[in-house]
Structure 1
Amino acid sequence: MLDGMMAQKTFKPAGENVLALIELRAYAYDVLRRTFASEPSQEYLVLMKDTIDQFPFSSESEYILKGIEAVKKSLDQLDPSVGISKDVSEELLWDYTRMFIGPDQLVAPPWESAYANEDKLLFQKETLAVREAYLKYLFLPVQFQQEADDHIGLELDFMYQLCLILYEKMKSGDLSYAEVLEDQKSFLQQHLLTWVDRFGKDVVNNSATDFYKGMTNILTGYLSLDQRAIEELLAI
Structure 2
Amino acid sequence: MSENPDSAIEETAVRDELLSLEALLISRCYLFALFHKAFGGEPNSLFLESMASTITVDVVNEYAHADETMGKLEVFISGLSDKARDASFLDEAITEYALFFEGPADLPAYPWEAPYISHDATVFQKSTLTIREAYRSYGLQVKLFQHVPDDHVSTMCAFMGHLADRSLTAFRDRRFGDLGVLLGDQYRFVRDHLNNWIPEYAKLARNAKTACLYPQLIHGMQAFARLDEVFLAETLVWLGGSSAEAAVACNMSYEAPSAFAAVENILARLNEIRLVGIEENELVEVA
Instruction: Using structure 1 for the length normalisation, give the TM-score.
Output: 0.85
Look up the match of 2:53: 50
Partners in 2 of 1:40 and 1:119 — Cα distance? 29
Shift of 1:123: 0.3
Look up the match of 1:5: none
Shift of 1:130: 0.3
Partners in 1 of 2:117 and 2:76 — Cα distance? 29
Partners in 1 of 2:209 and 2:181 — Cα distance? 38
Consecutive unaligned residues in structure 1, runs of 5 or more: 1-13
Rg (Cα) greater in structure: 2
Q: 2:43 aligns with which of 31, 40, 44?
A: 40
Look up the SS of the partner of 2:141 in the other structure.
coil
Kept in 1, the 8 Å contact 2:96–2:210? The answer is yes
Look up the SS of the partner of 2:139 in the other structure.
coil
Task: Select between 179-188 and 14-23 the one with higher mean Cα deviation.
Answer: 14-23
Closer/same/farther in 2, CA of residues 17 and 72 from structure 1, 3 Å limit: closer
Closer/same/farther in 2, CA of residues 72 and 176 from structure 1, 3 Å limit: closer
Shift of 1:189: 0.9
CA-atom RMSD in angstroms: 1.8
Q: Are residue 113 (structure 1) and residue 110 (structure 2) matched?
A: no
Shift of 1:93: 0.7
Look up the SS of the partner of 2:118 in the other structure.
coil
Closer/same/farther in 2, CA of residues 229 and 149 from structure 1, 3 Å limit: same
Look up the match of 1:8: none
Partners in 2 of 1:106 and 1:168 — Cα distance? 38
Partners in 2 of 1:171 and 1:193 — Cα distance? 28
Q: Percentage identity across aligned positions?
A: 26
Look up the match of 1:177: 179
Partners in 2 of 1:194 and 1:201 — Cα distance? 13
Q: 2:198 aligns with which of 196, 199, 202?
A: 196
Counterpart amino acid of 1:194? N
Task: Select between 146-155 and 45-54 the one with higher mean Cα deviation.
Answer: 45-54
Q: 1:230 aligns with which of 223, 229, 232?
A: 232
Counterpart amino acid of 1:59? H
Shift of 1:162: 0.4
Shift of 1:71: 4.1
Deviations 1:37-62 (A, max 9, x none): 11111101112222342223122110
Partners in 2 of 1:229 and 1:110 — Cα distance? 24
Deviations 1:14-48 (A, max 9, x none): 94433222112111212221111111111011122
Partners in 2 of 1:218 and 1:154 — Cα distance? 17
Partners in 2 of 1:209 and 1:107 — Cα distance? 12
Partners in 2 of 1:72 and 1:109 — Cα distance? 28
Consecutive unaligned residues in structure 2, runs of 5 or more: 1-16, 239-287
Counterpart amino acid of 2:30? Y
Look up the match of 1:127: 128
Partners in 1 of 2:209 and 2:196 — Cα distance? 21
Look up the match of 1:29: 32
